[in-house]
Amino acid sequence: MTKDTEVDMKDVELNEMDQEKRPITGGAGNGDAGSPTSTEKNGSIKVKIPDEIETKFTGLSKEELLRVAGTPAWVRTRWALLILFWLGWLGMLAGAVAIIVQAPRCKDLPAMNWWNYGPLYQIGDVQAFSESQNLKGVEEKLDSLSQLKVKGLVVGPIHDAPADDPVSLNFEEISSDAGNLEQFKGLIIAAHKKSINVILDLTPNYLGSGPWFSNVSVTNVAERLKSALVFWLNQGVDGIQLSGVERVASVVPSLWADIRAIVQNGTAEGKRRILIGVTAKTSAVDVSELLNSTGVDLLLSGALRSKSMTATDRAQTVQQLLSTHNQTQLAWNIGDRKEGHLATLVGPDMVNFNQMLLLTLPGTPVFNYGDEIALADEQYTKSPKMLWDSLEDEETNGTATKEKEQRLACRSFFKTLSDLRGKERSLQHGDYIPLFNSTSALAYLRQWDQSGRYIAAFNWGSDVVTLQLAHPDRPAQAVVQVSTDKVNLAPDSAVGLSALELGPGQAVLLQFPYVA
């Protein structure tokens, strides 16, 4: 290439560069006749890049899959995976069976009746119990009783029975002071709707000097009672209570057998009817013999009533009765219609203490109306007027307000214990294991199968006691569930079992979990 040619080429390149730097405008008359028409701005060039072509994976065709699937390598792989699947499945099945076989079996629940599931509540004086002073008034208080987890009401006696007058005795007529038959039937219907059973006290001479009048009258009265039992059972009552059962059972045993058959052989709405006996006997030996001789379902007695009893005496009484009877046959009470209320018999400061005792012993707890609020007997009567309080009530007197708060706190304590007894199997029907007893203190364990364990401890004495409750099968600590000592044994606090200190007149209920 010659120098002239090279110069010409440089001129061309320079001209082209100058051309690029010039403004690009469109239309004729811009002085560049040969420039292309464009609407783009100066120096802006659009370059269109074609989109990338996406390749879609279609997989193998059916024919290709069939060809591959038939190869020896894939056949062996499939068989290996199938065998591994079934081996894994059989292994898991064998493991599940081994767990079921080796797991501890649940203990069969004991045979129980409805009266074993919660406390019974005695209303011996219908007039004193409610504002309405009749059976309708009892019906109006069923909501309150249901909150306490009461399983049965023992009502009456309410029949017409002038004192010591067997001739005028009328078992089938309700005293006008108590109400009328329609009210009683309404009470039964309303109670059943709340799963509360109604037991009628038909003690013949309940206002007189002896429950069965004289020995001469026993035969005639017992015979008349038989037809009355049929009448009241047909009205829907769930059981009968009779005081002085030892007399009628011993004087006229054949008639007593008939009375038992009428009550105990029937059912009410698919439930067994209960026959409750009441005796003034106090020794464990006498109570045990009477349970056997009368055949009643429950026997209320004075076995725990004596103020002179030591803690050791109480422990021996409980142990002796449990050694000869199933706990479903035992009833625990302190007060009743004739003896009075709990607060009078043990003192108002010991009401919560004894509520815990009755609600944690193995058997059916029985309370007098008002025992849940520490209601005390009045000077001339053992049927004091029931007090119905609520937090919303207005009080202007400071002393009255404090007394109301004490009643509500007492009721709350009772309710907490009754709730626990109703839902915890260890308290409801668990084994009873003595842990400690002395002249002033008592402790026992309630346990059932794999349910939580409960320790109830009591100190009747005037000095602090230290209880040694530790055992290799128990944890070092337990949790306070309910306590009469809110300062030193606050609910939900953990306490050691090796040296549990319990103050004078204090009681505590502890809980710890089951450990396999």
Bridge partners of 277?
242, 299
For the cut 80, the answer to whether the pLDDT of residue 224 exceeds it is yes
Write down the pLDDT at residue 33.
41
Residue 236: name the closest of 267, 260, 261 by CA. Answer: 267
Per-residue confidence at 30, pLDDT binned at 50, 70, 90?
A: very low
Percent of the chain with pLDDT over 70: 87
Is pLDDT of 17 > 60?
no
pLDDT value at 232 more than 80: yes
pLDDT recorded at residue 101: 79
**Mean pLDDT for all residues in the chain:** 88
Q: How confident is the model at residue 49 (pLDDT cuts 50, 70, 90)?
A: low
Convert the pLDDT of each residue in 463-499 to its tens digit.
999 999 999 999 999 999 999 999 999 999 999 999 9
Query: In sequence order, which residues have a C-beta less than 8 Å from that of residue 96 and are 6 or more positions away?
Result: none
Token couple for 87: 């081996």
Q: Where is average pLDDT lowest: 266-270, 368-372, 398-402?
A: 266-270
Overall average pLDDT of the 243-267 stretch: 94
| DSSP H helix total and E strand total for the chain | 16, 20
Tokens 């009747």 — which residue?
Answer: 460
CA-to-CA dists, residue 308 to 24, 128, 190, 312, 333, angstroms: 124, 31, 42, 11, 16
Measure the CA–CA gap between 49 and 55, rounded to whole angstroms. Answer: 18
CA trace torsion 494, 499, 504, 507 (10° rounding): 40
**Which pLDDT does position 270 carry in this prediction?**
80
Q: Give the model's confidence band at 78: pLDDT under 50 very low, under 70 low, under 90 confident, else very high.
A: confident
Question: In whole angstroms, what is the distance from residue 354 CA to residue 367 CA?
Answer: 11
Lowest mean pLDDT among 65-74, 175-184, 248-257, 368-377: 65-74
* pLDDT of residue 61 exceeding 90: no
Confidence of residue 396 (pLDDT cuts 50, 70, 90): low
Longest dimension (CA), the chain: 164
Answer yes or no: is pLDDT of 105 > 90: no
Give pLDDT, residue 21: 47
The Cα–Cα gap between 51 and 40 comes to 23
Confidence of residue 37 (pLDDT cuts 50, 70, 90): very low
Kindly tell me if the per-residue pLDDT of 9 is higher than 60: no
pLDDT grade for 34, boundaries at 50, 70 and 90: very low
DSSP string, 336-400: BTTTB-HHHHH-GGGHHHHHHHHHHSSSEEEEETTGGGT---BTTBS-PPP----TT-----HHH
DSSP-assigned beta bridge partners for residue 242: 277
The model's confidence at residue 123, banded by pLDDT at 50, 70 and 90, is: very high
The reply to whether omega before 362 is within 30° of 0 (cis) is: no
What pLDDT, on a 0 to 100 scale, did the predictor assign at position 43?
52
Burial class (CB within 10 angstroms; exposed 0-12, middle 13-18, buried 19+) of 258:
middle
**Whether pLDDT at 59 is above 90:** no
Q: Is residue 254 a contact partner of residue 218, using CB atoms and an 8 Å limit?
A: no
Give the residue-averaged pLDDT of 82-88: 92
CB contact set of 358 (below 8 Å; sequence gap of 6+): 119, 332, 333, 334, 365, 366, 367
Residue ranges of the alpha helices (H) in 204-310? 215-234, 245-251, 253-264, 284-294
Q: What is the pLDDT of residue 102?
A: 76
Give all strands (DSSP E) within 114-157, no chain letters: 120-123, 152-155
Q: What predicted TM-score, i.e. pTM, was given to this entire model? A: 0.81
pLDDT for 55: 61
Q: Reduce the DSSP state of residue 131 to 3 states and report it.
A: coil
Instruction: Determine the Cα angle at 81 with ends 85 and 96, to 5°.
Output: 10
pLDDT of residue 8: 47
200, 238, 324, 337, 439 from 245: Cα distances, Å: 15, 19, 20, 16, 33
- Helix 284-294 and helix 311-324: axis angle, to 10°? 20
**Looking at residue 41, what is its pLDDT?**
47
Residue with tokens 């009410």: 268
Mean pLDDT to the nearest integer, 307-316:
94
CB of 241 closer than 8 Å to CB of 209: no
Contact yes or no for 263/239 (Cβ under 8 A): yes
pLDDT band at 447 (very low <50, low <70, confident <90, very high): very high
**pLDDT for 217 beyond 60:** yes
* 394 pLDDT higher than 60: no
For residue 54, the model assigns a pLDDT of 59
Query: Could you give the C-alpha distances from 516 to 104, 435, 474, in angstroms and in order?
Result: 9, 21, 11
pLDDT at residue 245 greater than cutoff 60? yes
What is the spatial distance between Cα 345 and Cα 309, in angstroms, rounded to a whole number?
A: 13
Strand blocks (E) in 19-127: 120-123
Parallel/antiparallel/unpaired status of strands 170-174 and 159-160: antiparallel
